[in-house]
């Protein structure tokens, strides 16, 4: 079974119908002084290419974010954004 890990987290996600679950990163104003990153597991609702955040949880480590994402959304479809897509290369949908 494929899962999101510390090597692929920036280009892999889970999908279920109109929902996307992924990891992103950021920093708090306080953490910026110490160059500390925060990781966010985020669920987006994707309707007609408009995405609305419906859930987000913050983690201090990438490993913890991966573990949470896989545990909670691992039964959704795993999507690797770098995988080759089929279809014509001139179509705007690809």
Neighbours of 23 (CB within 10 A): 21
pTM across the whole model: 0.82
Ordered by start, the domain boundaries in the chain are: 12-80
27-69 per-position pLDDT tens digit: 888 777 788 899 999 999 999 989 999 999 999 999 999 999 9
Is 82 buried (19+), middle (13-18) or exposed (0-12) by CB count in 10 A? exposed
DSSP state of 15: E
**Total count of residues recorded for the chain:** 94
């Amino acid at each position: 079974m494929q899962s999101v890990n510390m090597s692929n987290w920036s280009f892999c996600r889970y999908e279920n119908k109109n929902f996307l679950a992924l990891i992103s990163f950021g920093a708090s104003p306080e953490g910026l002084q110490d160059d500390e990153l925060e990781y966010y597991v985020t669920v987006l609702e994707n309707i007609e290419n408009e995405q609305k955040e419906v859930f987000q949880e913050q983690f201090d480590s990438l490993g913890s974010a991966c573990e949470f994402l896989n545990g909670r959304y691992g039964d959704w479809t795993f999507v690797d954004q770098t995988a080759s897509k089929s279809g014509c290369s001139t179509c705007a949908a690809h």
